[in-house]
A and B are shown apart, each in its own frame.
Chain A
Amino acid sequence: MRQTPALRLHVPEPSGRPGHATDFSYLRLAPAGELRKPPLDTSFHDIQDMAFSLIRVLDDDGNAVGPWADPAIDPELLRRGLRAMIKTRIYDARMQIAQRQKKISFYMLSLGEEAIGTGQVLALEKGDMCFPSYRQQNLLIAQDVPLVDMMCQLFSNDRDRLKGRQLPVMYSMREYGFFSISGNLATQFVQAVGWAMASAIKGDTKIASAWIGDGATAAADFQTALTFAHVYQAPVILNVINNQWAISSFQGIAGGESTTFAARGVGSGIASLRVDGNDFLAVHAVSKWAAERARSNLGPTLIEWVSYRAGPHSTSDDPSKYRPSDDWARFPLGDPIERLKRHLINIGAWSDEEHQATQKKLEAEVIAAQKEAESYGTLATGQTSSVSTMFEDVYKDMPWHLRRQRQQLGV
């Protein structure tokens, strides 16, 4: 008689835990310059293999190689990208300290992921709309948004344009093509597709850029967004940032084990690429390609950006409880700032001295902005918007029951 073994539930585990080094061989890497650059009107069919490989431009020595390297790229654009990345990192560090000083209730760093939003937003045009998650502050910083405006939101002070209604980091800046961040994961991914559909309905030329993390791809709205983007050939770039971690959950728990997130796009009939997210040149080149595709009515593109969440998930998180403390140092794709810096030095468009000077200058800029923002109040000083504004904007016009409740509060 045939013996049937008892079934066993498979629960994915990361190879590295505190005290044990991560084995990053699961990453499906490819050497820089190896992957082709398909024509803009490619079919998802013809590039299926690329969803399981990795587009990289910068090699280990910081040289730009292969078909995605643009020899005509303006070094000033790269310098701008590097400055934005450095600024983001400084901003994050300062705001994390401000949280520890209780001037802010909460903060989320984007350490190690600075290249992705920066590279993409510099490939978009004014009027395009990004639908970010909470770790895309670089979309704003790369556009030189006044840091004071961002910080006032973090401080919930009386200059906070969101009137203290939103948790820190949940920015909304329409004029910079930055859609309101919601705490509810993945919701914005399908909204981005709807925005892109609207642009197409109106015969506009603007495109949408959607953002989601590896963990949130498990939410229903991720698949919904892919289906709608495919069905209506919406002009949207569907960005998946695979930073390997969703709080404490390894990307294998999100469904990344033995496959890729780019592969999800292939199954939905969407041209899908997998890209080194710490390679600014690759980020910019692929973003530009996807944006041109969308703008040329050639449909959506899904991009999995392979990166690493170098910092804690948030100021409420302690990663040393679930992953090795030296993980980032061992991550094969390195640090996006170091890699772009090295490339720029190689081509003679940057130097260690300039790097140091820039860092100093940006530090001073961030500190000055913080000083100004704090002068409008912080959570600690309680200098917030008037309490009566709490009842506003629930509806366009305040209904009787809210007027009554406002009176009951005595404001």
Chain B
Amino acid sequence: MATRKEQGAMAPMTMIQALRSAMDIMLGRDDDLVIFGQDVGYFGGVFRCTEGLQAKHGRHRVFDTPISEGGIVGAAVGMCAYGLRPVVEIQFADYFYPATDQIVSEAARLRYRTAGEFIAPLTIRMPCGGGIYGGQTHSQSPEALFIHVSGLRTVMPSNPYDAKGLLIASIENDDPVIFLEPKRLYNGPFDGHHDQPVVPWSKHPLGKVPTGYYTVPLESASVFRPGSDLTVLTYGTMVYVSEVAARESGVDAEIIDLRSLWPLDIDTILASVKKTGRCVILHEATLTGGFGGELTALVQEHCFYHLEAPIERIAGWDTPYPHAHEWAYFPSPARVARAFRKVMDETSSPVFQGVDLPLRKEG
């Protein structure tokens, strides 16, 4: 983080500890903050993100809820109408669907439909993403479904430092924020080499986190790895996959970690693509109708005359997330590296990413 300033005492933290620290600090700073969700109270969350918070701040501030995503978000919207600032958890992003009506029709629209008379400054935390053998309902990346909704902010950190700073910024923000947490990154970065030992955050520079209050502003992307050959627009786990793919492909990729998915930091994106002239967009979520389509359109609209090659998208396949075929599904460093090289070859012919077979009709 080039812009990171001296922020007092630092401590090694996993993403889990960083998120917990953010909530702990905000519970202390804002009496109107409440935290609730399934298993988040006494037990401290199935991922331990809220461990100890109920004991420290009390059952009125941090509590367990019935298993009802619609109820969790609906009650939170009502609390917002009262004047509280709820931070709620949906246990897995795969399970937000029952809350869709409350998120889309209510939280996202409340300020607009009342001309600001009522607002919904809530944060909805959702562990997301694959790479953990989570199968269909513990691996999804539903960010595109939120990005399509006017009135929502969608955020996804990729490391403990950003996780804490972005969560504090999201909680303080007066708009409803969907805060997606890549659970694959909870304990350490992951570059897609599932056959190699996992590195813990304690051995990574971004695992050092200020113990006190700080924010990472929303709508600010970070240049995760500067480069000159091509621009990679990505976020979450794919930041590390693209980093290792750059190394392995020998392509000097400039990796942009979007951090705020929507509204996003358009200036950082455009400056980078205009500099490199090439763009690869990478996410775990399925390709069609995915956020990559929007990013592609934005780059095409704003950087057309700077582009030296077609924009390449690498994404999860357009299938439900499989269990046994996890590593054929998850965009691998090899697949990403191939795409990098393909974009560097300046081909304008149709691109069939990661498919080695020639395209032909069967039979």
- Residues of A within 8 Å of B116, CB to CB, are 393
How far, in whole Å, are A208 and B81 apart by their CA atoms in the complex? 11
Cα distance A183–B106 when bound, in Å?
Answer: 10
Q: Does A194 lie at the interface of the complex (its beta carbon under 8 Å from any beta carbon of B)?
A: yes
Decide if B52 is an interface residue (CB 8 Å cutoff): no
Kindly state the separation between the CA atoms of A399 and B150 in the bound complex, as whole angstroms: 11
The CB with the most chain A CB atoms within 10 A, among B74, B83, B102, is that of: B74
Q: Among B78, B111, B118, point to the contact of A394 (Cβ < 8 A).
A: B111
Whether A198 pairs with B263 at a CB distance below 8 angstroms is no
- Mark out the residues of chain B between 54 and 111 whose CB falls within 8 Å of any chain A CB in the assembled complex: 60-61, 65-66, 68, 70-71, 74-79, 81-84, 98, 101-102, 105-106, 109-111
Across the interface, name the chain B residue whose C-beta is closest to A166.
B113
A204 to B78, CA, bound (A): 15
Cα(A108)–Cα(B106), bound, Å: 21
* Bound Cα distance A202, B33 (Å): 11
Distance in Å from the Cβ of A158 to the closest Cβ of chain B?
A: 13
* Contact in complex: A174, B106 (CB < 8 Å): no
Which of A6-14, A184-192, A373-381 contacts its partner? A184-192
- Taken together as a complex, chains A and B put the C-alpha atoms of A193 and B60 apart, in Å, by 15
* A184–B106 CB distance below 8 A: yes
Q: Find chain B residues with CB under 8 A from A182 CB.
A: 105-106, 109, 113
* CB <8 Å contact, B263 and A129: no
A199 near B82 with CB under 8 A, answer: yes
Contact in complex: A195, B78 (CB < 8 Å): yes
CB-based contact B82/A129 at 8 Å? yes
Instruction: Please indicate which of the listed interface residues B84, B117, B151 has the most CB atoms of chain A within 10 Å of its own CB.
Output: B117
Write the chain B residue with the least CB distance to A191: B78
Q: A172 contacts which chain B residues (CB < 8 A)?
A: 113-115, 117-118
Q: With an 8 A cutoff between CB atoms, is A131 at the interface?
A: yes
Known: A162-B115, A165-B113, A195-B81. A184 touches B101 (CB 8 A): yes
Chain A positions 110 through 139: 1 when the CB is less than 8 Å from some CB of chain B, otherwise 0: 000000000000000000010100000000
Once the chains bind, are B115 and A395 in contact (CB under 8 Å)?
A: no
Q: Which of B65, B75, B263 is within 8 Å of A395, CB to CB?
A: B263
* A231 with B106, Cβ < 8 A, contacts A131-B78, A194-B77, A220-B98 known: no
Question: CB distance B79 to A396 under 8 Å?
Answer: no
Residue of A nearest to B67 (CB): A227
When the two chains form their complex, are residues B266 and A179 in contact, meaning their CB atoms are under 8 A apart? no
> Shortest distance in angstroms between B44's beta carbon and chain A's nearest beta carbon?
20
Given A187-B102, A220-B70, do A395 and B111 touch, yes or no (CB 8 Å)? yes
B176 closest partner in A (C-beta): A395
B208 within 8 A of A: no
For B, the interface residue count at a CB cutoff of 8 angstroms equals 44
B175→A180 contact, CB < 8 A: no
- A-side contacts of B71, CB under 8 Å: 190, 221, 224-225, 227-228
Q: Write out the residue numbers on chain A whose beta carbons fall within 8 Å of the beta carbon of B70.
A: 190, 220-221, 224
Q: Is the CB of B79 within 8 A of A194?
A: yes
CA distance A193 to B70 in the complex (A): 12
Counting CB contacts under 8 A, is B209 at the interface?
Answer: no
If A201-B34, A224-B70 touch, whether A187 touches B101 (CB-CB below 8 Å) is yes
Which residue on chain B has the smallest CB distance to residue A181? B113
Chain A, range 13-44, C-beta contacts under 8 Å to B: none
Instruction: Say yes or no: is A80 at the interface (Cβ < 8 Å to chain B).
Output: no
Provide the residues of chain B in CB contact with A165, threshold 8 Å.
112-113, 115
Beta-carbon contact of A396 and B111 below 8 Å: yes
A187 and B111 within 8 A (CB): no
How long is the Cα–Cα vector from A327 to B148 in the complex, in angstroms?
46
- Chain A contributes a number of interface residues (CB within 8 A of B) equal to 45
How near does chain B come to A119, taking the closest CB pair, in angstroms? 24
B113 pairs with A198, CB closer than 8 A: no
Of chain A, the residue at the smallest CB distance from B61 is A201
Q: Is A264 an interface residue (CB 8 A)?
A: no
> CB of A321 within 8 A of chain B?
no
> A228–B76 Cα gap in the complex (Å)?
12
> Do B115 and A163 touch across chains, with their CB atoms under 8 A apart?
yes
Residues in chain A near residue B101, CB distance under 8 A: 184, 187, 221
A103 to chain B, nearest CB (A): 22
Chain B residues with CB below 8 A from A208, complex form = 78
A161 lies within 8 A of chain B by Cβ = yes
Closest to B174 in A: A396
Task: Give bound CA distance, A180 to B80, whole Å.
Answer: 13
A401 interfacial contact with B, CB 8 Å: yes
User: B312 in the interface, Cβ–Cβ < 8 Å?
Assistant: no
Nearest chain B CB to A295 CB, angstrom units: 16
Query: In the complex, how many angstroms separate the beta carbon of B350 from the nearest chain A beta carbon?
Result: 30
Q: How far is the CB of B128 from chain A (nearest CB, A)?
A: 22
| Beta-carbon contact of A194 and B74 below 8 Å | yes
Closest-CB distance, B109 to chain A (whole angstroms) = 8
Q: Mark A167-182, 1 if CB is under 8 A from B, else 0.
A: 0001011100001101
B84 touches A395 (CB 8 A): no
CA distance A227 to B71 in the complex (A): 9
Residue B219, interface by CB 8 Å: yes
User: Are A162 and B114 interface neighbours, CB within 8 A?
Assistant: yes
Which of A165, A172, A197 has the most chain B CB within a 10 Å cutoff? Answer: A197
**In contact, A191 and B119 (Cβ under 8 angstroms):** no
Tell which of B68, B79, B173, B263 touches A195, judged by Cβ atoms closer than 8 Å: B79
Contact of B283 with A by CB under 8 A: no
A187-B74, A227-B68, A401-B263 known; A395-B175 Cβ under 8 A = yes
- Cβ distance B64 to chain A, nearest Cβ, rounded Å: 9
Residue of B nearest to A178 (CB): B117
Residues of B within 8 A of A131 (CB): 78
In the assembled complex, the CB of B203 is this many whole angstroms from the nearest CB of chain A, namely 37
Query: Which residues of B sit under 8 angstroms from A198, Cβ to Cβ?
Result: 34, 78-79, 82-84
B74 touches A191 (CB 8 A): yes
Q: Are A191 and B81 in contact (CB under 8 A)?
A: yes
Are A179 and B81 neighbours in the complex by a CB distance under 8 Å? yes
Q: Is the pair B266, A228 in contact by a Cβ cutoff of 8 Å?
A: no
19 contacts between A and B (CB under 8 A): A129-B81, A129-B82, A131-B78, A161-B115, A172-B115, A182-B113, A187-B101, A193-B74, A193-B78, A194-B76, A194-B81, A196-B78, A198-B34, A227-B71, A228-B65, A228-B71, A394-B112, A395-B151, A400-B266
For the complex with contacts A172-B113, A180-B113, 10 further pairs of A-B residues with Cβ separation under 8 Å are A131-B78, A165-B113, A165-B115, A182-B109, A187-B74, A194-B74, A199-B82, A225-B71, A393-B111, A396-B111
By Cβ-Cβ distance, the 3 closest A-B pairs, closest first, are A194-B78, A194-B75, A190-B74
User: Which A residues contact B (CB, under 8 angstroms)?
Assistant: 129, 131, 161-163, 165-166, 170, 172-174, 179-180, 182-184, 187, 190-199, 201-202, 208, 220-221, 224-225, 227-228, 231, 392-396, 399-401
B residues apposed to A, CB below 8 Å? 32, 34, 60-61, 65-66, 68, 70-71, 74-79, 81-84, 98, 101-102, 105-106, 109-119, 150-151, 153, 173-175, 219, 263, 266
